[in-house]
Structure 1
């Protein structure tokens, strides 16, 4: 089983190549020998590795002879050596006549050998001398493939040469199929002895890991695989490169099913096993891995000694893998192949023996396995109770995806036609099964499936008289991103006289939570108070109290008292952790993280809380829902503080869960925000189209407005100012949110679009649109005046941007307005709007043909900030303006926020007088008294701790920030201060303290 070494890329073998080079080239000298024997299962890439290693050794000046052994034993003595010599001679050029003569002389030696008492020893000596003539003092490498088939004479020659008797600088590189070295194979004994020599290495080539598998498949297909396809290739191949290549080519060429090549290869390997080993592989293929030893013994019914021998054979032939917890197939493809090799009665018999063995086991039953085997044994009556027990067990362990699968199986089993009295399933309540299946689907992120099951439960009626079902439907609708019908369902419960106090409390709490997510904080607070009043009269209403308290705290923090509201949300989280309800804990974390990263603008702590909450809810089985929402919050927080690379990693990890509904929308918007910032138009368009598709027919302002803001931002970078205007105007029409920050962001994008249109002279300014934007700015100013302090601070930042954009509409812009905007965003540690404001301030200064030195400094500062983020469109616009103004952007940068005052008679370059970059370990001294002006408040705290000699971990513990985040801060500090070590940074800190 060898892959096409000419076309297959080499992936994941850099370490092995380094080992080969060191062993065969770097570590041997004249008269010395070395060997590396590469072992591994068929298809693992031994031949490909040998080919690459041989090419590199040849490039390094070695003489490389390459041959392959044949599967005909001793019938062809020295075949691989003869083949290698002929290949080598054929590749020689006319200018290598001397070497060619030596090769042909050695070939004649083989042909002339006439036998005799000492002919074997004489032949080895003559071959050795002939190889010396060919090498001409250069290193000689003998590369042999399929050494498991080596003939006796070649084996003797290798031992003779490796013993150093040939006086050659010789290296041997050989590949051996591990499954072939069974029993008394002569090469097995030889390798055992050679392992003891320092000059010999045996390298066991393992399959590729997941990363290598994905990379190899992508290179074969020509593009990265979809997550589902990549998972399937990994599961089926087990990392075997040959299998990966075959599966990838099938994907590339659009072939379905399993190729005949792979099927025949694996069938031949299984058929070559002894009888009991053959049965053992079939049994493991039918089992649920890992199959424990005791269970396999029960199923096969073999005596212990025979079972051990059978399993040993299957493991040795690389079909099974044995571990402490049981046996697994090395490749899942084996199960696919063997599934068609047994008769239906044989398969059913195997599963029945598994089920009976599990039933007899004295240990606690694994209900999921039991249900699986009874179902495949054709006995649904016995499978149904086990499936229901498995679902309940999965729910107890917060495995909601598994629970959904088991409840679905139970529904199918309950509906299976009865073939006889013995097969009749027990009486079950189908309504209860549907309810449990729907709830498990919802918690596992399958919101559409949950709604489908609920519709089946209610018979497809638009409304069901059951209040509990209405609440259930509303929760599923909200999770699927359908906020309007969800709100209507909750209101119907609150207005119904037939609903109990507990049901109304649940509806009010859930509605409050939904309104917070929509940005309707005043309504959310009102509903949360109603829920708490109702819950006070109901025992065991912890869930309602936690959810309502979280929503109330968020509302109070946004509209009234930030500290009091934050305390309420923190207490809600503590209450949820004590109760242990998965959704209670998840909702409390969600509100706390949103509050910190949103209205309170405590970004670093908010990111830490979001990531910690994501880990916690993942433990509770809510990976596809609340974990993805929390990671979206973390991504947005990281984006705002300028840690875009880290944000990319977080959002990529979250998308691997393949979320749906509102959860998917949150993540796509977070990723799109990064793509727009980076200027990746294609990726941004894809995500925006996906979001628009998912929100078709409705959507909360929480999702619709960010989508429209991103559409406007992308359109402006493309010069499509009319498209940007349309997106913003639609947002103004649809805005019903109390979130003045979101409205302020929308207004800024709209005013920017009008200003860009005016500056480009390609699209006329729309006075009606401008009037609506001014009204929106007035609304933001009025609402933020009565909002909580932190909310007002962020709103002020966007108001500053809006006022500065309005100044651009007169054709020149107000540099003072842009300076105020830059200062606002500097204080908030938001580098992107700060860099944008500096660009516009410089543009306004240059338009007035004054203070060119200040404009140069601003452009350099903006360029440094934008390029450090990777904001390609913004960086490009800065460079364009700098080019027109003839400003050099590569010079030293004055600390942000400190624009030098020009002197009478001209301006001085802001970098003048500054020392060059540190060359000999001394920190560069910038001009002016405050060397730390460029650092943010948080970076100053980190620098102070660095000066105390604390490690990143210790600093993180002190400041309640992750160690990774501290590392990012330290890196930024080094860049801004232009130092290379912590000692240099500490020296600057101490100098500015006067110590």
Structure 2
């Protein structure tokens, strides 16, 4: 099974080639021998590897003799050596070398079998090879060594035992499935392994990445992830099979090629009868097939079963891991599927299902459902699928549960299930979809359930509200909770549930006082309802947050911590997640206990992952951690946290939280395109969102607009936040007001726009109201609000002139105490600006500029750095140039980005990585929450900067410089 070496690139073998070369040449002392025997299944690339190594050794000055063994036994003694000598004679140009080769060939031609002993012959061959080498390293390359004749085996032992007097290396390839039973080469290898200079290398198949690279190169275009995954699964990483499958894809051929079918049929038919039966059973089963299960299916005596499994493994058709069997190539299952009669196939599936059902303690319900369905037993398949879904839920595998419930719904159609039973199934499927982050799917299933039920019950309103809240439709969710509370069929327990969930929602809407009132209502109702642990947890968390924010952290925080402890004792995943979430939000946000908050958020993320809520609550908790890290200036770490969370591909409000966290970094980094993209995505996701999302969204939009000099756009964003959003969150309001006053001050300073006096008057009213209200807030909240109000006061001073350096110094001091480096650096910039405008304290201004510039550069805050550098230039204050190392770190590559990729922006590198995965523009847009048209612009820029014309060429550059 050899591939065309000129048709496809050699991938995934660079390290192996280098290692073999070093073992044969670089590390072999003068007059010493070495050998590498490459062992592997057919098609794994042994011959290609031998050719690549031989070419490199030849270029390095070695004499390379290349030959192949034939499957004719001992009929042609020393055939591979003779073949190698003839090839070398045809290629050799040096006269002395040609003469030595001809002398050795003549010796073989004149040799009469049996005329002299084997030792004499081997000695003469050794002398002849010494003459050919002429002091240079000699490498003997032998392919298909499994067919080696006796004379060549003796020659190898003679030469590698050091009986020759030259620097000799042997490189040979062995087809592993051919070494069966008492094959003579097995004894030779056993002898040779004892030599320190001999290495036996097992050549493994390609990994997923190399398989994708090889298939992409052959097809000539990036493949969709589904296509590359299918190639990987079907081929098992065997390069020859990958090439065949990729050519089928390229040429539009469906099914299995005749070449591959015949190759694998030959390999299967070469098996002993019982081994053939074992492979056929494993092919029908769901891998891995445990040994005990296989024994109950094939029904062979234990000794014969083990013997048959050994034979299948030796023929490289099965792999045994942890006492369970896998097919080495899924293609074997496709080949054998056509060899079975339908009745045979159904009988095997029935035997599997019976065997799995014999031990219910093992809980193989999903596999049983699969086998019953293919055995033609839909009712038994339905029961098993329901058991599988319930088992997945018990183990917190909600994505798996959602998949099983969806299969149950499909199977129920075939079994004629009645409407009441289907309503129950829809309810279970919707809840599983909600837990695994498929909020839109959950709402769709819920609507189908409501249509079948015919009436909107209180329980239905509560569930719809929960799903709407997680989908980012907060306003609709609030209205739905109110409908639940007003519903005539609402029981006391359901009223407690609705009130507790509504209190939790009001926290996300930023209406903390109302959340506290609803939480107290829920707790009062729960007191008379048995088993209302979940309601108590949710209401306690909301009440603790409200009290800690509005009154006293020392009173509120213990309530929240007790809510977390109660949730852990109850074990309900969503309760645990919400308790962690609200505690982390409070600590990293208004209370400004950021280090502890980040620890709580990360610990909570690990915990909820264990509970199966990775796509939903882990994403939110990691967003909270990233926001905390941003505030304390650990931006690189925040980027890593966000990247870790994005692997879940969240949706709805979960995605909005993460995108807002990423947008904060993009705005501060000055990555306008990325920030615009995230803001657009959040606005789409949060139609009807609450203040906790909308106010940060508008604040970021205003900040981005200011860096671009679009002061009117910044003004409009702030105005929307102040007039359209209702919130008790004083920190969010103070932040928004600062951005509004800053926009007016920037407009005045730029001389490109006029100050909107009406907007300034409204903003000053807002800051005064926030100041008055904050007096009643908890002290930590008041401290953070005061820090933003200090910025507001200083910005007002810029509206009438250069600003007051004293006010900016006060703001810098406040932010230093809070350990927030970014606003502190901004305040120092403005303080220096005000000092320089007053023509005084130039030395102090220079110091402030250098300090601010150092902080901004360390953070990677490019727009702030550029503004500081511009002012320093005007004031003739030297500041250090930005280093390439910092630029590399900002690129998110950990430094060391190759010149080919350094021209790309971080977002373009992100898009290029997905292009290399084979995703289309539409798929990339869905992954990154960008429009397909915007992705097209990104790809066009990438092509221009990399000077390529196709996606394949761009992907090749990415793969070449990808971190290993």
Match of 2:325 in 1: 327
Match of 2:437 in 1: 445
Q: CA deviation at 1:571?
A: 0.6
Q: Distance in 2 between matches of 1:160 and 1:321?
A: 36
Match of 1:700 in 2: 690
Q: CA deviation at 1:226?
A: 7.7
1:316 aligns with 2:307: no
Structure-2 change in CA distance of 1:645 and 1:87 (3 Å): farther
Structure-2 change in CA distance of 1:214 and 1:709 (3 Å): farther
**In the alignment, which of 550, 567, 570 is matched to residue 559 of structure 1?**
550
SS in 2 for 1:698: coil
Match of 1:662 in 2: 653
Q: Distance in 1 between matches of 2:168 and 2:314?
A: 32
**In the alignment, which of 507, 512, 526 is matched to residue 517 of structure 2?**
526
- The number of equivalent residue pairs is 879
Q: Distance in 2 between matches of 1:798 and 1:375?
A: 64
Q: How does 1:638-787 map to 2 (within 5 A)?
A: 638-695=629-686, 697-787=687-777
Q: Distance in 1 between matches of 2:532 and 2:852?
A: 54
Calculate the TM-score normalised by the size of structure 1: 0.79
SS in 2 for 1:416: helix
Q: How does 1:164-179 map to 2 (within 5 A)?
A: 164-179=162-177
SS in 1 for 2:34: strand
Greater RCO, CA 8 A, separation 6+: 2
Q: CA deviation at 1:688?
A: 3.2
For each residue in 1:911-936, what CA deviation from the matched residue of structure 2 results, as whole angstroms up to 9, or x when unmatched? xxxxxxxxxxxxxxxxxxxxxxxxxx
Structure-2 change in CA distance of 1:426 and 1:506 (3 Å): closer
**In the alignment, which of 348, 351, 354 is matched to residue 349 of structure 2?**
351
1:632 aligns with 2:623: yes
Q: Distance in 1 between matches of 2:617 and 2:706?
A: 33
For each residue in 1:225-284, what CA deviation from the matched residue of structure 2 results, as whole angstroms up to 9, or x when unmatched? 887677666655555566667778888999988777766665554455444333322321
Q: CA deviation at 1:392?
A: 2.3
SS in 2 for 1:547: helix
Report which stretch shifted further, 755-764 or 822-831.
755-764
Q: Distance in 1 between matches of 2:441 and 2:760?
A: 45
Q: Distance in 1 between matches of 2:547 and 2:742?
A: 32
Report which stretch shifted further, 792-801 or 262-271.
262-271
Structure-2 change in CA distance of 1:327 and 1:891 (3 Å): closer
Q: Distance in 2 between matches of 1:228 and 1:6?
A: 27
1:36 aligns with 2:36: yes
Match of 2:957 in 1: none
Structure-2 change in CA distance of 1:480 and 1:714 (3 Å): same
Q: Distance in 1 between matches of 2:448 and 2:510?
A: 33
Q: Distance in 2 between matches of 1:179 and 1:753?
A: 74
1:102 aligns with 2:110: no
Calculate the TM-score normalised by the size of structure 2: 0.82
For each residue in 1:562-612, what CA deviation from the matched residue of structure 2 results, as whole angstroms up to 9, or x when unmatched? 121111100101111111222221111111111111111111111111111
1:529 and 1:552 in contact (8 A); partners too: yes
Report which stretch shifted further, 390-399 or 748-757.
748-757
1:319 and 1:331 in contact (8 A); partners too: yes
Match of 2:951 in 1: none
SS in 1 for 2:289: coil
**In the alignment, which of 600, 603, 610 is matched to residue 594 of structure 2?**
603
SS in 2 for 1:288: coil
1:830 aligns with 2:810: no
Match of 1:283 in 2: 281
Match of 1:468 in 2: 459
Q: Distance in 1 between matches of 2:182 and 2:586?
A: 70
SS in 2 for 1:744: helix
Q: CA deviation at 1:535?
A: 0.7
Match of 2:855 in 1: 865
For each residue in 1:24-81, what CA deviation from the matched residue of structure 2 results, as whole angstroms up to 9, or x when unmatched? 345431111112223234455555655665566567x451627363664567766665
Match of 2:914 in 1: none
Q: How does 1:12-23 map to 2 (within 5 A)?
A: 16=16, 19-20=19-20, 22-23=22-23
1:459 aligns with 2:457: no
Structure-2 change in CA distance of 1:613 and 1:767 (3 Å): same
Q: Distance in 2 between matches of 1:602 and 1:222?
A: 54
Q: Distance in 2 between matches of 1:257 and 1:828?
A: 65
Q: CA deviation at 1:472?
A: 1.1
1:85 and 1:103 in contact (8 A); partners too: no
Structure-2 change in CA distance of 1:169 and 1:552 (3 Å): same
Q: Distance in 1 between matches of 2:148 and 2:705?
A: 67
Q: How does 1:189-268 map to 2 (within 5 A)?
A: 189-207=187-205, 235=233, 238=236, 266=264
Q: Which runs of 5+ in 1 are unaligned?
A: 419-424, 894-995
For each residue in 1:403-447, what CA deviation from the matched residue of structure 2 results, as whole angstroms up to 9, or x when unmatched? 2233333332222157xxxxxx89982222222222122112222
1:291 and 1:326 in contact (8 A); partners too: yes
Q: Which runs of 5+ in 2 are unaligned?
A: 884-964
Q: Distance in 1 between matches of 2:553 and 2:782?
A: 11
Q: What RMSD over aligned residues (CA atoms) do the two structures have, in Å?
A: 3.8
**In the alignment, which of 802, 810, 821 is matched to residue 820 of structure 1?**
810
2:2 and 2:43 in contact (8 A); partners too: yes
1:792 aligns with 2:782: yes
1:557 and 1:788 in contact (8 A); partners too: yes
Q: Distance in 1 between matches of 2:740 and 2:241?
A: 54
